[in-house]
Structure 1
Amino acid sequence: MKKPFFANTLKATGSLIGLVALLAIVFATNIILSKVNLRADLTEERLYSFSDGTKELLSKLDREITMKFFFSSSISEAPVQYKNFGRQIEDLLMEYRLAAKGKIKIEVYDPTPDSDAEEWAQKYGLAGQPLGMIGPTLYCGLVGISGDIEVVMPALSPGREGQIEYDITRMIAQVGVAKAPVLGVLSTLPVFGSLQQSPQMPPQQSMNPWFSFADLRKDYDVRTLEPDTDLIPSEIDSLIIVHPKDLPENTLYAIDQFLLRGGKILAFMDPFCLVDALTAQQQPYGTPNASSNMEQLLSAWGVTFDSVQVIADMDASTSVYGKDNKVEQNPVWLSLRKENIDSDDIVTSEIGSLLMAMTGTFSVEPDNRLTVTPLVRTSENSAPINLMSVQFGADAIKRDFKSSYKEHTLALRLHGNFKSAFPDKAPDNEENSATVHLSESLNPGAVILVGDVDMLFDQFCVQESNFMGFRAFQPLNDNITFFANAVEQISGSETLIGIRSRGTTQRPFTRVLKLQKQAQLKWLEEERQLENKLNDLRVRLNSLQQTEKDHSQRFKLSPEQEQENKTIPRRRN
């Protein structure tokens, strides 16, 4: 009788031991797997995957960096979008910590009211956003610290969700650099407000610096270069070229060698620079050519710039004052919108509008050594026209316009290994190591080319006003933002150039929007057909009305008119 009892007891004991063993296995497996970095980004937009540029930068970190994230996570009144964005930033920072393999330390603070964390947030200069009139203050800012170097992003905005990887990686690059980037500026125009005087020329009125260049010295170590320079110093990291008109061969060679040493270039050229033409009108010794190009260099890069024609785009016409001071829609003054701008590139992802006038276009021959990225382009309803046609005004341009039915590139970026435009040229002083001739790139270089100079001039990008005795400027478009983004990219780490714009967590109903657009187009087509039929019927009735009839019957419809009139309601339905 006791045998079943011992059997059941043994069975229960075995089950208990098996359960304990299973739990031990699960616990041990969990410990082992916690030490293994098995992670996968399953989001369609790759929200938690780094670009190659970020990976390269993190792999080369040689100093420890502390990232302090201040986020008001405990405030219940905060908007849901704000909370989701904060959690996304925190998750992304943890990805940075893992990818940096111990070089980056992440600290997260919740700056509740009157707390030490809020006090530190205020000391770092983070921008808090009050919630209502008497509500708490929301914080979402980031501080990067390494040694005595400190970089602050006062406020992270959900509006920059697509660029957040670039912003954080740029901060890491800035924290890791102990000095400001050295930026060279070579211009034939007085962008810093100083005119070159010639002994043969009468004295000219001084000019203020262009607004787009006025603040460069706050963020960069700026070195100005003469247009006839024959050497670009090695300490210059990046170079801005404005209106390279009639540059001598020695200067072009210096630019060529600078690029081959791994330099980065931002160049603005123009088929007809209005600023240059306006300046020339003030000179009594004739009007020089207002176009600029670097044909010899561009040819070596596989690029052609049309410096004898300007682009006209009927879909981007701008309202300007024409002849007799009348407002006209001019297609060579381009008001470019989102559809003309690369929304996936960091330089242009936040650009909503650009104003470019008398702009030239670029064409590129395929070259597997270089990566070509068009940044700004026209619509397909565009075509190049000669400068003579422009002088006759907008009406003449429209009358003779014939679309090319293709897009034209107005700005682009080249990145990769370049070849020299002077393969057989040797420096004048071969003993000087700084001028050792290079026939191809030592390190990958980058060039951003823009087909308009005037877009940087004040009248084309900002509106000036006087506020309490001070000059104040209000942006008219995103020209300044485009310039600042481009300068920032060429002056930053090489790895920043390859960072893409990230996807967003906002998922629009693309299929519904597509169906709505198709339905709208169909409805517009049907409406157009009905309007055409109605207009035809009206013409026919008017024609019948004009036929001769008895004077006493002029207020009566003829049989033909009555028949046509009966068809109108039926055809309009």
Structure 2
Amino acid sequence: MKKIVISLIVIVAALVLINYGASKWYERFDLTKDQRYTLSPVATQLAESVESTMLIDVFLDGELPPEFRKLQSETQQLLEEYAAVNKNIKFNFVNPTEDESTEAVEQITMRLAQYGIKPAMATIMEGGKSTKVVVFPWAIMVYNGKTTAVPLLKTVARATMEERVNSSIQQLEYQFADGMSKVINEKSKTIAVLRDSGELSDLQIRDFIKTLQQYYRVAPFGIEFVKDNDSVTPVDVLNQLNKFDLIIEPKPTVAFSETKNYIIDQYIMDGGKMLLAADPIIFENDSLANPQSIGYGMPRDLNLDNLLFKYGLRLNNGIVKDERAGGLALATGQGRNTQYEAFDWPYYPISKSDSDNPITKNLEEVKFEYTGTIDTLKNSIKKTVLLSTSPDTQIKILPAAISLAELDQPIDPLATKVGEKPLAVLAEGSFTSAYKNRVKPFEMTNSIDEGKESAIVLIADGDVLKNQIDSGKAQELGYDMRTGALYGNKEFLMNTVNYLLDDTGLIQLRSKNITVPFLNLKKSYDERTKWQLINVLLPLITVVIFGLVFNYLRRKKYSV
């Protein structure tokens, strides 16, 4: 009896010590191959910086289809990781439409729409019947009086729901870290969008600018408006421009003056960064709107050759014709039977990089329209090709006729193919001024010939930045209304801006790769009988074998 009491005391004491130790020393172990439940250093740093209560309401609760239950489970596990890092992070799952009438659901939908939250329709199969339900795959994050919506379901063109969920799960950590960044960090970096050389209109770049404004302070800026008799001198303009961390030039159509070139040159020499989306070709779809459906592409002189040449870059104005192409939607039928049908249009090359560069890693296809190409020249500047054409590329020398008849004509296999040609290039290093040992367009007492560390991203097509417009409203950048395709243009541009402004942490999160296991429905259906028998018979056989062995050993032990 005494031994039993001592054993109980030892067991109780051990349990107390274990519980005490567990309360003091907490550790989580991620045994997954892709470390999906291990927060990245950037996400951990953001979570640790939460100083007061952060509330996260996730609208994924109630009756959900299997795909959304998977998304719900992954979201909960991720938020548990965030909460484990910082107990100020609180989250709960709610169903915003639970036990509500149709009218109430409409009101809730309108209220959530104020935060940019849009519902998704889902189908639930039960008892052989399908039921449509409204699902809000979003979360609301509230911190220190700031509120932001976090999208949980990614839009992927021409993808099944499983593929969308897979893509969404890969982005979950980024989405929540991105939301935290918006409500925690103050906007410190500044961007100037140049508006003086016939660039894309405000409406055409609205989605891009709207996205930038969530992270940075963005303002329009004019250089060419400076006149000789103006009280504002070019030096004054340069001093104002130097206050910005990055300048964006969205598809200029008017040649740069030497004054503008010199101001940009000195801005870069002083360490400023630049995203230049320059279109060396004059051609728009309107050019095909004639009875012959033929237009003519012409070269566009932007007076950038000398500037770019000194930086080790050159814009080529030959137009790209690529077998790997996006769709051009054309109206077919007549009257009420008119429909839009997408045809592969070789002048819409799409590019996807397989490199590990943080700007393009795991990036969706990027769409170009009537683009030129870029040459990289040997100098001390480091050049990285971000996006390029496919190997099956031809270049048409301008001027060149472009006809819709080419839709039915595959690229001639016997014609000269130039291979992969750069469409977007990153140049970084200490640049030499394009005006070194040259006559300057205006006098400066402190001009710089050898620059500080800087970076330029040159894109050979300005339309990469352009969103489509429907009834006066800007659509999401990269979305093609006619074909329904969604390209990675916005993601590419945001990665580029993040990189140029040294916000590389969010880029790494955005490109994190997670493999989500899904059942092979066909295989599971074909082999269902085998697995049913295994699940039913194997436990029974195991119990019978165990019983026989146990009975045999017992008889052997107690036999006389």
The answer to whether structure 1 residue 462 and structure 2 residue 462 are counterparts is no
Q: Distance in 2 between matches of 1:96 and 1:371?
A: 38
The answer to whether structure 1 residue 403 and structure 2 residue 411 are counterparts is no
Aligned-residue offset at 1:268: 0.8
Aligned-residue offset at 1:241: 0.9
Map 1:375-390 onto structure 2 (within 5 A). Answer: 376-387=387-398
Higher mean displacement: 218-227 or 145-154:
218-227
**3-state secondary structure, aligned to 1:503:** coil
The answer to whether structure 1 residue 240 and structure 2 residue 248 are counterparts is yes
Whether the 8 Å contact between 2:464 and 2:489 is mirrored in structure 1 is: no
Whether the 8 Å contact between 2:359 and 2:496 is mirrored in structure 1 is: no
**Alignment partner, residue 58 of structure 2:** 70
**3-state secondary structure, aligned to 2:89:** strand
Match of 1:169 among 156, 160, 177: 177
Aligned-residue offset at 1:154: 5.8
Aligned-residue offset at 1:142: 1.9
Normalised by the size of structure 2, how large is the TM-score?
0.61
**Alignment partner, residue 212 of structure 1:** 205
Aligned-residue offset at 1:37: 4.8
Map 1:229-378 onto structure 2 (within 5 A). Answer: 231=238, 232-243=240-251, 246-248=255-257, 251-252=260-261, 254-256=263-265, 258=267, 264-274=273-283, 290-292=300-302, 294=304, 298=308, 303-316=312-325, 333-336=347-350, 351-352=364-365, 354-363=367-376, 372=384, 374=386, 376-378=387-389
Q: Distance in 2 between matches of 1:22 and 1:96?
A: 35
* Identical counterparts, % of pairs: 16
**3-state secondary structure, aligned to 1:336:** strand
Q: Distance in 1 between matches of 2:306 and 2:45?
A: 34
The structure in which a higher percent of residues are helix is 1
The change in CA–CA distance for 1:130 and 1:399 in structure 2 (over 3 A counts) is closer
The answer to whether structure 1 residue 185 and structure 2 residue 196 are counterparts is no
The change in CA–CA distance for 1:500 and 1:109 in structure 2 (over 3 A counts) is closer
Q: Distance in 1 between matches of 2:52 and 2:269?
A: 32
Q: Distance in 1 between matches of 2:60 and 2:473?
A: 37
Match of 1:93 among 69, 72, 79: 79
**3-state secondary structure, aligned to 1:85:** helix
**Alignment partner, residue 17 of structure 1:** 6
Normalised by the size of structure 1, how large is the TM-score?
0.60
**Alignment partner, residue 107 of structure 1:** 91
Q: Distance in 1 between matches of 2:481 and 2:263?
A: 35
**Alignment partner, residue 142 of structure 1:** 139
Whether the 8 Å contact between 2:305 and 2:315 is mirrored in structure 1 is: no
1:261-320: CA deviation from partner (whole Å, max 9, x where unpaired) = 665532212332325998xxxxxxxx995044755665666x533424333323438779
Amino acid across the alignment from 2:250: V
Whether the 8 Å contact between 1:183 and 1:222 is mirrored in structure 2 is: yes
**3-state secondary structure, aligned to 1:475:** coil
The answer to whether structure 1 residue 47 and structure 2 residue 36 are counterparts is yes
Aligned-residue offset at 1:137: 5.2
Structure 1 runs not aligned, ≥5 long: 1-8, 194-208, 279-286, 322-326, 514-573
**Alignment partner, residue 432 of structure 2:** 421
Q: Distance in 2 between matches of 1:319 and 1:305?
A: 29
Aligned-residue offset at 1:345: 6.3
1:529-565: CA deviation from partner (whole Å, max 9, x where unpaired) = xxxxxxxxxxxxxxxxxxxxxxxxxxxxxxxxxxxxx
1:121-141: CA deviation from partner (whole Å, max 9, x where unpaired) = 985555455666988754442
The answer to whether structure 1 residue 83 and structure 2 residue 35 are counterparts is no
The answer to whether structure 1 residue 506 and structure 2 residue 503 are counterparts is no
Q: Distance in 2 between matches of 1:484 and 1:65?
A: 32
Whether the 8 Å contact between 2:280 and 2:300 is mirrored in structure 1 is: yes
Q: Distance in 2 between matches of 1:453 and 1:45?
A: 37
Q: Distance in 2 between matches of 1:277 and 1:120?
A: 43
Q: Distance in 1 between matches of 2:309 and 2:31?
A: 44
The change in CA–CA distance for 1:412 and 1:123 in structure 2 (over 3 A counts) is same
**3-state secondary structure, aligned to 1:418:** strand
Amino acid across the alignment from 1:17: I
The change in CA–CA distance for 1:109 and 1:276 in structure 2 (over 3 A counts) is closer
Whether the 8 Å contact between 1:270 and 1:291 is mirrored in structure 2 is: no
**Alignment partner, residue 439 of structure 1:** 451
Q: Distance in 1 between matches of 2:484 and 2:357?
A: 16
Aligned-residue offset at 1:173: 1.8
Q: Distance in 1 between matches of 2:485 and 2:259?
A: 32
Q: Distance in 2 between matches of 1:168 and 1:448?
A: 28
Q: Distance in 1 between matches of 2:184 and 2:194?
A: 28
Amino acid across the alignment from 2:452: E
The change in CA–CA distance for 1:109 and 1:479 in structure 2 (over 3 A counts) is closer
Q: Which has the larger radius of gyration?
A: 1
1:493-532: CA deviation from partner (whole Å, max 9, x where unpaired) = 723344342334434799x99xxxxxxxxxxxxxxxxxxx
The structure in which a higher percent of residues are strand is 2
**3-state secondary structure, aligned to 1:44:** coil
Whether the 8 Å contact between 1:127 and 1:139 is mirrored in structure 2 is: yes
The answer to whether structure 1 residue 28 and structure 2 residue 39 are counterparts is no
Q: Distance in 2 between matches of 1:67 and 1:372?
A: 42
Amino acid across the alignment from 2:54: T
1:440-488: CA deviation from partner (whole Å, max 9, x where unpaired) = 23xxx6644321124556xxx6375x6xxx6787634699964543554
The answer to whether structure 1 residue 485 and structure 2 residue 491 are counterparts is yes
Task: Report how many residues are paired.
Answer: 446
Amino acid across the alignment from 1:38: E
The change in CA–CA distance for 1:178 and 1:356 in structure 2 (over 3 A counts) is same
Q: Distance in 2 between matches of 1:387 and 1:439?
A: 35
**3-state secondary structure, aligned to 2:180:** helix
The change in CA–CA distance for 1:489 and 1:56 in structure 2 (over 3 A counts) is farther
**3-state secondary structure, aligned to 1:81:** helix
Q: Distance in 2 between matches of 1:387 and 1:65?
A: 61
Whether the 8 Å contact between 1:187 and 1:243 is mirrored in structure 2 is: no
Structure 2 runs not aligned, ≥5 long: 124-129, 155-164, 227-233, 288-296, 331-340, 524-560
Aligned-residue offset at 1:79: 1.7
Whether the 8 Å contact between 1:242 and 1:267 is mirrored in structure 2 is: yes
Amino acid across the alignment from 2:416: K
**3-state secondary structure, aligned to 2:432:** coil
1:75-97: CA deviation from partner (whole Å, max 9, x where unpaired) = 2x312221221221222223334
Instruction: Tell me the C-alpha RMSD between the 2 structures.
Output: 5.2
Q: Distance in 2 between matches of 1:36 and 1:218?
A: 42
